[in-house]
Structure 1
Amino acid sequence: MNKISDNLSMDLFEESDQSLKNWLHRDGTVNYYGVVFSPRTANACYQQLLNNTLWRNDESAMYGKHIMTKRKVAWYGSQPFRYTYSNASKIALPWTPLLCKLKEKVELVTGESYNSCLLNLYHDGTEGVGWHSDNEKDLKPHGAIASLTFGAERKFSFKHKESKETINLLLQHGSILVMKDEIQHYWLHKLPATTQIHSPRINLTFRTIIQTK
């Protein structure tokens, strides 16, 4: 862990220009920072996350049926936050040392703060996620969600709910993408399945949970 922490500290990231491109033409913001970790550090983080994360198959409840996905997930946070989506709830585990370091890096790069992280493990390209918005009541309205990718490069797609316009990006190993502002109200996003990818991808989405009484 210390070796990875040292590498994270040594990785350099030039502060982005204030005119960082918004990939959406309207109704929200998507900023893609590209690769922000050296290949050596990204590889080390990938291996540690793959082997040491408390992965479990994701669950959902649809039309009265309990569904278990092949994709695996893990939910961590600054407090034991409850997060509910797809009619299933999770309680956040405490941050690991590596996740704390990655959160600090993501906050430095994006200029935003986060108190939780949902991790997804896709074993190969046949595992993906369909069109959806991250607009659950547990999340900060219009808050930033930072997506950190390790492993296989995958296409990530956006579709406007009204115009049906679509935008595609390729998320690289060791890269960061941020969704924020009104995007979850006006846009859907998905990770398309493909038979062309045969290696795993780990995706960390740093979020902000709001406390409700």
Structure 2
Amino acid sequence: MKASIHESRIQVSCMQQDLFSTPPAGLIKMPMVDAEVHYQADFLDQDTANQLYQNLMVNLAWQQESIQIYGRKVAIPRLQAWYGDKQTTYRYSGLEMHPIPWTKELYSLKQKLEQACDSQFNSVLANWYRNGQDGMGWHADNETELGEQPVIASLTLGYPRDFDFKHRRSAQKIRISLQNGSLLVMAGNTQQHWLHSLPKRSNLVQGRINLTFRKILF
């Protein structure tokens, strides 16, 4: 990504507001217009994050799905697994994902994040970026079943990766380096005004698992 396109690297400040009536200790509001984005680099300690990464890498039902892009099926550059309550079917880009029942580890994380975010979650999309060749292009989590102002809690396990935001109107770009054990929460009008992506890194051999907890509206 070229710095000439209004790119900024966020320096975490101590602003906390909007999303929580009483902001949880550690979650910090990012200085982004038209958005409610909070970040905590050390939501999980390193030992816990490393153990979870190894556990989920082995035990989740990973699949490489295909999605529709301009009328043709393309294999996505990552592995995925969808877990959640019954009837929390998720659809995007021509892909329909049906939930697998919660594992003990995922359900425990769901409860921890519900308390941290003061929100309810009934599903989680797990993404395994096996190395720098895996990534995710520009998109917004704005599917109808998520509602107009979804709260999405994104937990990172494994090697740090850059996470980019791009404002739909101004094209301003902001980058956050998501650390092992970190929590990123997107809420409010974020999905209406910003796109996000996980860019590929050709020289990276380490993996990252990302868990995005969300609430599907029936």
With normalisation by structure 2, the TM-score equals 0.85
- CA offsets per residue over residues 159-187 of structure 1, 9 Å max, x none? 10010111110101011000000011110
Counterpart residue number, 2:32:
25
Identity %: 40
CA distance in 2, matches of 1:210, 1:126: 33
- CA offsets per residue over residues 21-43 of structure 1, 9 Å max, x none? 43243211110022121221111
CA distance in 2, matches of 1:156, 1:28: 15
Q: How many residue pairs are counted as aligned between the two chains?
A: 196
Matched, 1:118 2:115: no
CA distance in 2, matches of 1:165, 1:15: 28
Matched, 1:197 2:204: yes
CA distance in 1, matches of 2:29, 2:46: 26
Counterpart residue number, 2:169:
162
With normalisation by structure 1, the TM-score equals 0.87
Among residues 157, 179, 183, which one is paired with 2:186 in the alignment?
A: 179
Distance apart, 1:73 and its partner CA: 0.2
Does the CA contact (< 8 Å) of 2:156 and 2:181 recur in 1? yes
Does the CA contact (< 8 Å) of 1:80 and 1:94 recur in 2? no
Distance apart, 1:190 and its partner CA: 0.4
Q: How do residues 51-70 of structure 1 correspond to structure 2 at under 5 angstroms?
A: 51-70=58-77
Counterpart residue number, 2:106:
99
Unpaired runs of 5+ residues, structure 2, are 1-22
Matched, 1:84 2:60: no
Distance apart, 1:69 and its partner CA: 2.3
SS in 2 for 1:42: helix
CA distance in 2, matches of 1:85, 1:178: 20
CA distance in 1, matches of 2:92, 2:113: 24
Higher strand share: 1
CA distance in 2, matches of 1:15, 1:31: 10
Distance apart, 1:62 and its partner CA: 2.1
Unpaired runs of 5+ residues, structure 1, are 1-13
Matched, 1:44 2:51: yes
Does the CA contact (< 8 Å) of 2:77 and 2:136 recur in 1? no
AA of the residue aligned to 2:71: G
Does the CA contact (< 8 Å) of 1:147 and 1:178 recur in 2? yes
SS in 1 for 2:76: strand
Matched, 1:74 2:108: no
Counterpart residue number, 2:25:
16
CA distance in 2, matches of 1:121, 1:82: 20
CA distance in 2, matches of 1:199, 1:151: 8
